Amino acid sequence: MKANIYSLQSEKIGEMELPPQFQEEYREDLIMRSILAILSHSRIPKGTDIHAGKKKVISLSKRRRSYKTTYGYGISRTPRKIMWRRGERFYWVGAFAPQTVGGREAHPPKVEKKIYEKINKRERRKAIRSALAATVIKDLLKLRHKHLDKVKEIPLIIDDIESIAKTKEFVQVMEKFGVLDEVLRGKERKIRPGKGKFRGRKYRRKVPPLIVVSEKCNLMKAARNLVEVVLVKDLNPLILCPGGIPRLTIWSRKAMEKLKEEKLFM
């Protein structure tokens, strides 16, 4: 499969054979498995205090003739804390047991629980190759990008895009290739419905296009407020296919050559 190479002026200056990584079979199940493994690494281990709900003085007998006994009163055998007494009559409240107010949890989270999911190295690399292949399937990209028909070509390979140092220049280049509508669409956001807005994720935002570069460059700073710019060696299924759906990906010529020459993810 061949792809055209364009200059910053949107003129065709050559063509190249796509690396073999793009020939991988599209496996949605494998991509999602890798994404879930990546997301699991952001979880924070948690657990409860081993003394939680056990810091109350509880001294209660179940025997027939003992002092402060619950025997013969027609009440359950729930552990109880004595609040006051008059002779041998007591006012007590349930304590310590899981079903009581202020009591411990029945099955609290354990600190030793394994929350990190692992994935085999070959399986992870295959998932990345599958995600790369998904980014050149137009029918899949249409699920996420509304203005895909305006884009000049898929995949889009632009020479010298890494040399862009100004945001204004980047916007002008994106307009020439028909990608500007998708770039600006990524800036739109709306308030999430429901209680999710109270949990640190108030806004929902469209996924903007992705730009892949070979090394750290000025573009990473110039375009960071509009799109996501990543190094080719840092690609993973979560970046290429957020939520399992591929995103529009723009490649620099150097990044595509580096992917091919260094045989990344093979």
Amino acid at position 98, single letter = P
pLDDT on residue 104: 87
- Structurally, the chain folds into a number of domains equal to 1
Q: At what angle do helices 28-40 and 121-134 cross, to 10 degrees?
A: 120
pLDDT on residue 71: 86
Task: Confirm whether 96 is domain-assigned.
Answer: no
Q: What contacts 66, CB < 8 A, 6 or more positions away?
A: none
Burial 65-87 (b: 16+ CB within 10 A, else e): eeeeebeeeeeeebbbbeeeeee
Task: Confirm whether 39 is domain-assigned.
Answer: no
What pTM value is reported for the model? 0.82
* DSSP states of 58-124: ---B-SSS-TTB-TTTT-----EEEEEEETTEEEEEE-SSTTSTT---SSPPPTT--------HHHH
pLDDT on residue 49: 85
Task: Confirm whether 236 is domain-assigned.
Answer: yes
Task: Confirm whether 242 is domain-assigned.
Answer: yes
pLDDT on residue 62: 84
CATH number at residue 168: 3.40.1370.10
Task: Confirm whether 243 is domain-assigned.
Answer: yes
**Helix, strand or coil, per DSSP, at residue 253:** helix
Cα–Cα distance measured from residue 5 to residue 254, given in angstroms and rounded to the nearest whole number: 11
For every one of its 266 residues, what pLDDT tens digit does the chain have, with 9 covering 90 and above? Answer: 899 999 999 999 999 999 999 999 999 999 999 999 999 999 888 888 888 888 888 878 888 888 888 888 888 888 888 899 898 888 988 888 898 888 888 888 888 888 899 999 999 999 999 999 999 999 999 999 999 999 999 999 999 999 999 999 999 999 999 999 999 999 889 999 999 999 989 999 999 999 999 999 999 999 999 999 999 999 999 999 999 999 999 999 999 999 999 999 99
Q: What contacts 115, CB < 8 A, 6 or more positions away?
A: 40, 43, 45
236 lies in which domain range? 2-27+119-261
Task: Confirm whether 228 is domain-assigned.
Answer: yes
Task: Confirm whether 60 is domain-assigned.
Answer: no
